[in-house]
């Protein structure tokens, strides 16, 4: 802590002694603090009220009260909430690190049992909230906090509902897109718990690959990445898709075998993944069903939380993230006709991919070498495959013209510019 005198003595609401800033997220700055009433270390999130300048409305206050009552071993406890100098302060239990730090720490080897344990705790937290009819809507590894005994807890639960969908203009918010379900990307306004299941599946995939699985650079590109991985959905597979507000037709591409994307995963893991990544939210597995999947009872059993690997010191700058991840190439957006605009994943590269992926471990090692990945992981180490290595040449740039581009962007990003109505 560099400027101890300034921050150390700051007392908020006659109870909390604010310490250093831990970071800044979508809704505002988070600081470490001591609760003088209990002696407990806490994290205080100062919510910028922004559009809600007139104050937090009654509904928001009621929702916050509800969040305070959501108590579960896998949910971050909201200890207190109070207004201070025109900002709303939310006081949470303090957590040591988060899942993003675990995934990114290359000194950490994650065994299949560790991955199972992290996923199980994530799903347990979600199951508790879904039972209480609360959705998370912004699941991503940095919202999964990890305590000093290895316990994983979901953070930021319900905030999207209270304060509106996060404003994607914040740099760090681009990551949230990678975890968005296809129905959200197609503009669905009547989504349900399936959005959290999709996001949990992306996190499961990320634990296996040790890199974000579907790194779209725009909402259109995100759908392109999803379709490249699982095949373009046919209407029979997802009948409601064509009626979604922002539906655009994408060129059909077949799905490569799931095994080719996750060579190290067990059959049970792949089966669960495919059920969580089901396109139609109506047939997507629920969190409770996912928890009852045989993946969790077949060996290796989930590692006990206290025995899970944890990074040493945490807390890196939010700004380092973009450059850390190797962004994948975007899909090709074909020119109009407007109504039948099509977006297609990089087809050539992908066919090559499908051909190549009938592979052995030897092939996996080739890919590792091609991507410059470390070879030091042991047998249990998860691996990571970069889609882009399959295509030998970079895809052509999107040919969509700028007027159409801004129209499409407006359409697809609309919900981020307005607080949610629900
Ligand atoms: N309960 C907590 N205990 C310890 N650190 C926390 C806690 N909550 C948040 N932090 C840390 O504070 C910083 C900001 O967190 P915040 O949740 O506001 O944003 P974020 O998770 O980084 O991004 P986003 O808002 O996009 O989810 C992060 O470094 C986060 O790990």
Atom of ligand 1 nearest to the CA of 172: 26
Give, in order, the Cα–Cα distances in Å from 380 to each of 109, 113, 115, 160, 208. 8, 9, 11, 37, 11
| CATH architecture entry for 97-306 | Orthogonal Bundle (1.10)
DSSP letter assigned to residue 392: S
Mean pLDDT of 359-363: 33
Percent of the chain past pLDDT 70, that is, above it, reads 65
CB neighbour list of residue 240: distance below 8 Å, 6 or more residues apart: 280, 282
pLDDT per position as a tens digit, 197-238:
999 999 999 999 999 999 999 999 999 999 999 999 999 999
231 labeled binding residue: no
> First CA to last CA across the chain, in angstroms?
41
Determine the pLDDT at residue 407.
Answer: 38
For ligand 1, whether the C-beta of 46 sits within 6 Å is no
For residue 237, report the distance from its CA to the centre of ligand 1, in Å. 37
For residue 317, report the distance from its CA to the centre of ligand 1, in Å. 11
For residue 348, report the distance from its CA to the centre of ligand 1, in Å. 40
Higher pLDDT, 192 or 4: 192
Instruction: Say whether 324 is catalytic.
Output: no
Determine the pLDDT at residue 87.
Answer: 83
Please report, for the chain, the start and end positions of each structural domain, with discontinuous segments joined by +: 16-93, 97-306
Q: Is 160 left (phi over 0), alpha (psi -120 to 50) or beta?
A: alpha
Q: Closest Cα to residue 390, out of 330, 347, 350?
A: 350
Catalytic residue among 114, 138, 219, 221: 138
* Res 284 pLDDT > 50: yes
Q: Does domain 16-93 have CATH number 3.30.200.20?
A: yes
For ligand 1, whether the C-beta of 231 sits within 6 Å is no
Evaluate whether 273 touches 214 at the Cβ level (below 8 Å). no
134 labeled binding residue: no
From 16, 19, 25, give the residue whose CB has the most ligand 1 atoms within 8 Å, as the site to mutate. Answer: 25
Which value does ipTM take for this structure? 0.97
For residue 25, report the distance from its CA to the centre of ligand 1, in Å. 6
The pTM score is: 0.74
Least confident of 149-153, 298-302, 389-393: 389-393
253 labeled binding residue: no
Higher pLDDT, 171 or 415: 171
Mean pLDDT of 153-175: 60
Question: Same CATH fold, 97-306 and 16-93?
Answer: no
């Amino acid at each position: 802590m560099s400027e101890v005198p300034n921050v150390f003595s700051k007392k908020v609401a006659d109870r909390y002694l604010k310490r250093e800033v831990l970071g800044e997220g979508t809704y505002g700055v988070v600081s470490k603090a001591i609760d003088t009433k209990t002696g407990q270390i806490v994290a205080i999130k100062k919510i910028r009220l922004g559009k809600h300048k007139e104050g937090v409305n009654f509904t928001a206050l009621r929702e916050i009260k509800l969040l305070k009552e959501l108590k579960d071993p896998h949910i971050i406890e909201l200890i207190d909430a109070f207004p201070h100098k025109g900002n709303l302060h939310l006081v949470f239990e303090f957590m040591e690190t988060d899942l993003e730090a675990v995934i990114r720490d290359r000194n950490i080897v994650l065994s299949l049992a560790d991955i199972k344990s992290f996923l199980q705790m994530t799903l347990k937290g979600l199951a508790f909230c879904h039972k209480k009819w609360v959705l998370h809507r912004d699941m991503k590894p940095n919202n999964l906090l990890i305590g000093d005994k290895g316990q994983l807890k979901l953070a930021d639960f319900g905030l999207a509902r209270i304060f509106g969908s996060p404003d994607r203009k914040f740099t760090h918010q681009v990551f949230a897109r990678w975890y968005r379900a296809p129905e959200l990307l197609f503009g669905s306004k009547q989504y349900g718990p399936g959005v959290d299941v999709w996001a949990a599946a992306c996190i499961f995939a990320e634990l296996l690959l040790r890199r974000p699985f579907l790194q779209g650079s725009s909402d259109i590109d995100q759908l392109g990445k999803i379709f490249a991985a699982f095949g373009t959905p046919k209407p029979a597979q997802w009948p409601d898709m064509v009626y979604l507000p922002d539906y655009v037709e994408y060129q059909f591409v077949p799905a490569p075998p799931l095994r080719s994307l996750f060579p190290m995963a067990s059959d049970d893991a792949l089966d669960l993944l495919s059920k969580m990544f089901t396109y139609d939210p109506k047939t997507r597995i629920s969190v409770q069903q996912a928890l009852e999947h045989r993946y969790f009872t077949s060996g290796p059993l989930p590692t006990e939380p206290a025995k899970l690997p944890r990074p040493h010191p945490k807390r890196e700058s939010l700004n380092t993230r973009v450059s850390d991840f190797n962004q994948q190439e975007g899909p090709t957006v074909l020119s109009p006709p407007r109504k039948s605009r099509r977006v297609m994943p990089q087809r050539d590269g992908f066919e090559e991919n499908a051909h190549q992926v009938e592979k052995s471990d030897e092939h996996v090692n080739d890919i590792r070498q091609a991507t410059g990945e470390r070879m030091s992981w042991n047998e249990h180490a998860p691996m990571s495959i970069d889609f882009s290595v399959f295509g030998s040449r970079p895809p052509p740039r999107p040919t969509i013209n700028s007027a159409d581009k801004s129209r499409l962007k407006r359409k697809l990003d609309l919900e981020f510019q307005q607080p949610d109505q629900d």
